[in-house]
Amino acid sequence: MLSRYLTSLWLLAGSAFAAPYKSHLPVVLWHGMGDSCCGPSMGNITELIQSQLSNVYVHSVRIGDTEDQDRNFGYFDVLNRQVDEVCEQFKADEKLSNGFNAIGFSQSGQFFRAYVQRCNDPPVHNLITFGSQHAGVSEWPGCKDRFDVQCNLARSLINRGAYLPWIQHRVVQAQYFKDAKHYEEYIAGNIFLPDINNELPDKNETYIQNLKSLNKFVMIQFEEDDMVVPKESAWFGYWNEDGQVIPLKEQPLYKEV
């Protein structure tokens, strides 16, 4: 996975990212599931970015007080709380006060989008998401390491019923789980994704304006993604009730708002 991120980043470094007038904006990274703020993967990506963008300031999101907590919060937390935490974290960082470019890996792509829609202070200029689940997932994203205890626990909880309130308020992946065949249950039971995707009856105008305020929103989908089901969720594509993937531009989400 890391090498795929790195390859795509090389390609991007010269384009969206390094628009000359914004070339020195800081970069904020938010790692994916099972990873942490401060391990080799975010470390390597930081090095790559700094080597390309004259040692620009790079901040790697850490949820909680330690690297272990941060990894654990990638499985067990309430996402609405987590988004509030990053709102405070970014606001408190003076080096980010003029805004920044954001990169969200996997699940953190949709979490970063929630930051943009809900807070965006300091503002994100360009948002790049890698293999994210913007439209949700219909299956557990998969544990890379089968001995990862937390990952296996989170998966077994989701299998009990992703929309059960006590699971919604514990398991992160349940909060972007979407069962296309039971849409009403998803709308009623999922405490995160229907809100940030403006699927609820009351549309939030702030979400729309904040998302539109981005200079560029780059969504990268991995053609051979076997973790994200459907992989097109990286571009907001999702199953209809007959099991066909409907691209964003043909969905009510896109047509209505």
Judge residue 195's burial from the number of C-beta atoms within 10 Å of its C-beta, 0-12 exposed, 13-18 middle, 19 or more buried: buried
Least CB distance from residue 118 to ligand NAG, whole Å?
4
Least CB distance from residue 254 to ligand NAG, whole Å?
19
- Judged by CB under 6 A, does residue 2 bind ligand NAG? yes
Q: Which is nearer to ligand NAG, 63 or 116 (CB)?
A: 116
Residue 211 and residue 118: Cα distance in Å, rounded? 9
Residue 191 and residue 72: Cα distance in Å, rounded? 20
- Judged by CB under 6 A, does residue 91 bind ligand NAG? no
Task: Write each residue from 24 to 53 as x if it is in contact with ligand NAG (CB under 6 A), else as -, in one continuous string.
Answer: ----------------x---x---------
Least CB distance from residue 93 to ligand NAG, whole Å?
20
Q: Which is nearer to ligand NAG, 56 or 114 (CB)?
A: 114
Task: Count the Cβ atoms, other than its own, within 10 Å of residue 196.
Answer: 25
Task: Write each residue from 177 to 206 as x if it is in contact with ligand NAG (CB under 6 A), else as -, in one continuous string.
Answer: -------------------------x-x-x
Q: Which is nearer to ligand NAG, 23 or 209 (CB)?
A: 209
Residue 110 and residue 146: Cα distance in Å, rounded? 25
Least CB distance from residue 190 to ligand NAG, whole Å?
16
- Judged by CB under 6 A, does residue 113 bind ligand NAG? no
Least CB distance from residue 173 to ligand NAG, whole Å?
22
User: CB-based contacts of 191: which residues, under 8 Å, 6+ apart?
Assistant: 78, 79, 80, 168, 169, 175
User: CB-based contacts of 110: which residues, under 8 Å, 6+ apart?
Assistant: 104, 129, 132, 133, 134, 176, 193, 196
Least CB distance from residue 160 to ligand NAG, whole Å?
30
Binding-residue total with ligand NAG (CB under 6 A): 9
Q: Which is nearer to ligand NAG, 50 or 72 (CB)?
A: 50
- Judged by CB under 6 A, does residue 87 bind ligand NAG? no
Q: Which is nearer to ligand NAG, 4 or 216 (CB)?
A: 4
User: Quick one: which of 1, 4, 8, 7 has its CA closest to 34?
Assistant: 1
Q: What angle do CA 73, 67, 138 make, to 5 degrees?
A: 30
Could you please report the per-residue DSSP string of 36-66? Answer: -TTSHHHHHHHHHHHHHTTT--EEE---SSS
Hey, what are 77's tokens? 């937390």
Query: For binding to ligand NAG (CB under 6 A), which residues are involved?
Result: 2-3, 40, 44, 118, 202, 204, 206-207
